[in-house]
Structure 1
């Protein structure tokens, strides 16, 4: 569509095998932008329909497959109400959806919904009616916002939103009280809502490759968090509250602009992996020596001139990387242990 005056010539009837926009040449009708949106609604309904168990077989019936597209769209509403009520999982990945039909609300028992690798730019408010949903995968779409109704999905345990265009998260995200995994890499998030601290069951939070400049202090309320991935953001400091993440096992801060670490980093008693490559650190706090379970520490490519003597307390450390730092002072015990 290059202008409002452009029109489209499309098939009057489509079978499932023709849904990949390979139009038949017989019996065409003239379609303008006036009813183009209705056409899109019905195309997305058919794309969804043929992925539901029994849908393709229904559409392939002789008395159904040559019906006009609009008629099929109306049939879908009643069909899904009858055949979708017991469905617990729906895989719609990579089928060319441009939006999710609102009839998704007719699947009240749905627990897993896979929508990755489509062309979705938004989600309908009706998604909030999937009250039993536990897994929602929206990886590789074009979402710029999420509806506030997502907060109604109180049973959600996993949400994948990798590779979208989100610029913010709705405040209602705080209502996902059962959420255990939240993946948001490769979006456009510059801030996080303070309500993120209310996700008390969260175990994994992936925020890689966003333009985050700071973390809210409320991040420290995520007491069950085990992994926090913040690689490739624009962070310069960490809040002192990071030290409250008592269950954290992995912290990835590579490729940021961090200049100092808070002393509270030493309170992460369960931390096993700490990645700080490609930052602007000049020193390390003495408290880093309290990380008695730390096994892997990557400090490559910083501006560190000395390592604190307290690092000898890192008794579990197996791998230490300090390449590309202007190191001038290294404790003898650390030198011998890691052959620096």
Structure 2
């Protein structure tokens, strides 16, 4: 009986040792797998960072990251190691999201993310206080965050052809240095009130929207030089436009205007006016400015390239 007990004990101890060895092998295998995955991840990160560094170039003394016509639907986390970059030019990459790490790029002056698949702008963009140019045309953005107003150094903002964009937050009136704003080919039916309080604004394109009226106090935009309002639903122009003494370019083609305000006759600084394709009364049609040359017409559906030849000089 004692022999039998000893035999059973030995058998159990042997079985326990086998179980322990099995667990040790499993743990060693898991650790090896984790280490392998970590090594692979580290190699991939280094490879991606090397690819990004290959896309760096210097332009006019600025360090520029240029990614174009490549597949970068998601920007990698290792991009944060290039926070000294001063300009992003990331176009036609299928980019779907601006990463939150963007707030770490405190030296960024220009961000061009045109012609991608962006659907939103992160609130973290408000941390880019030195940003001067933000170009987001031809994306899918339907909402502008209030935090964009914290980009106090912004001078140029392009949001053309985002299609569903139909309003701007009132806080954007804090963009006191903004000079150029492109809101063309969107879904605006009302003129954004914040635009009236942007003291530096000189160039505004709201063509290709659904605007039905202009503000009765649009003359508050005292520094405006060029106003593009083609392809909207405007039926009249407020008389206060006559008080916009610095306006030299006014495009109102393809609206529903039936007359031209007489006060416009006293706007001696106007150099380019376009009233084409409006149902003007005969007397207004005959007295309207001569049609511009073909190269100056307001544009077709492609918008962005077309505007390059029709913008009024600064």
**TM-score, normalization: structure 1?**
0.66
- Does residue 125 of the first structure (1) align with residue 91 of the second (2)? no
Residue range with higher mean Cα deviation, 152-161 or 284-293: 284-293
Tell me which residue corresponds to 2:308. none
Tell me which residue corresponds to 2:279. 326
SS in 1 for 2:140: coil
Query: In the superposition, relative to structure 1, how do residues 119 and 265 fare at CA in structure 2: closer, same or farther (>3 Å)?
Result: same
SS in 1 for 2:91: coil
Q: Any conservation in 1 of the 2:168–2:194 contact (CA below 8 Å)?
A: no
Query: In the superposition, relative to structure 1, how do residues 273 and 115 fare at CA in structure 2: closer, same or farther (>3 Å)?
Result: same
Q: Give runs of aligned pairs for residues 94-173 of structure 1, distance below 5 A.
A: 111-173=63-125
In structure 2, how many angstroms separate the alpha carbons of the residues matched to 1:173 and 1:158? 12
Query: In the superposition, relative to structure 1, how do residues 133 and 325 fare at CA in structure 2: closer, same or farther (>3 Å)?
Result: same
Unaligned 5+ runs, structure 1: 1-34, 54-88, 92-109
Tell me which residue corresponds to 2:265. 312
- Does residue 241 of the first structure (1) align with residue 207 of the second (2)? no
Tell me which residue corresponds to 2:219. 266
Give the CA deviation at 1:128. Answer: 3.6
Give the CA deviation at 1:240. Answer: 2.1
In structure 1, how many angstroms separate the alpha carbons of the residues matched to 2:48 and 2:129? 33
Query: In the superposition, relative to structure 1, how do residues 42 and 240 fare at CA in structure 2: closer, same or farther (>3 Å)?
Result: same
Structure 1 segments, 4+ long, off by >6 Å, are 35-41, 329-332
Tell me which residue corresponds to 1:90. 56
SS in 2 for 1:294: coil
In structure 2, how many angstroms separate the alpha carbons of the residues matched to 1:41 and 1:302? 58
Q: Give runs of aligned pairs for residues 144-223 of structure 1, distance below 5 A.
A: 144-211=96-163, 212-223=165-176
Unaligned 5+ runs, structure 2: 1-35, 292-314
In structure 2, how many angstroms separate the alpha carbons of the residues matched to 1:132 and 1:49? 16
Q: Any conservation in 2 of the 1:129–1:152 contact (CA below 8 Å)?
A: no
Give the CA deviation at 1:41. Answer: 8.2
SS in 1 for 2:195: helix
1:206-243 CA distances to partner (integer Å, 9 max, x unpaired)? 11110211122122221111110111111111222211
Alignment coverage as a number of residue pairs? 251
- Whose helix proportion is higher, 1 or 2? 2
In structure 2, how many angstroms separate the alpha carbons of the residues matched to 1:308 and 1:115? 48
**TM-score, normalization: structure 2?**
0.71
Tell me which residue corresponds to 2:304. none
